[in-house]
Amino acid sequence: MAVVLAVGESFHLKFGKDRIVYAGMPSDKVFSIVQRKREFVPYAAWGYAWNLFFPREQTELVIDGVRLTVESVSPQEIRLGVM
């Protein structure tokens, strides 16, 4: 399955797994993906997130145990294959 994310768009990796958000390219050699985790407790929901930085040449990623293939990346969007 292929997923295309523009900057700020999110994708739920799989049931029981985290969400990711494409955060763009802070430089011409690095792209960033935000990993969002959400926790549920009685009467409240809260979450936290962190930025993951990858070299532009990297084509294989594993986020929250899910294997992703980077098909293309630009400052505006990223195309991922989800395994």
What would the pLDDT profile of 30-78 be if each residue is shown by its tens digit? 999 999 987 666 666 677 899 999 999 999 999 999 999 999 999 999 9
Cα separation, 43 vs 60, whole angstroms: 39
End-to-end CA distance of the chain: 7
Confirm if 73 and 79 have CB atoms less than 8 A apart: yes
**pTM of the predicted model, to two decimals?**
0.88
8-state DSSP, 76 = S
